[in-house]
């Protein structure tokens, strides 16, 4: 399971390299095509490591890459 989470976390970071903007959970799910619970666990890992952060705007949560999108996160 830990290896799978690491792979999914890497895929999430790759999504940020390609998209270059804050994205919501639904967008990540459509781009990665993994179960929601696995994606959420990978988010937790990336948040703990400081690679991403989450902001809420208009009752929606946006995931932002800590390095690239911090200033642009809603």
Total number of domains constituting the chain = 1
Residue range(s) defining the domain that contains residue 61: 2-72
Confidence check: pLDDT of 73 > 80 = no
Q: CATH code at 57?
A: 1.10.10.10
- What is the Rg, in whole angstroms, of the alpha carbon atoms belonging to the chain? 11
Q: With contact defined as beta carbons under 8 Å apart, do 65 and 13 qualify?
A: yes
What does the pLDDT look like over 10-66, one tens digit per residue?
Answer: 999 998 888 878 888 889 999 998 999 999 999 999 999 989 988 888 888 888 887
């Amino acid at each position: 399971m830990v290896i799978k989470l690491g792979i999914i976390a890497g895929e999430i970071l790759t999504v940020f390299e390609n998209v270059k903007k804050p994205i919501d959970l639904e967008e990540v799910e459509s781009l990665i095509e993994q179960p929601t619970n696995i994606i959420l666990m990978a988010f937790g890992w990336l948040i703990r490591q400081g690679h991403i952060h989450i902001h809420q705007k208009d009752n929606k949560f946006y995931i932002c890459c800590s390095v690239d999108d911090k200033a642009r996160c809603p």
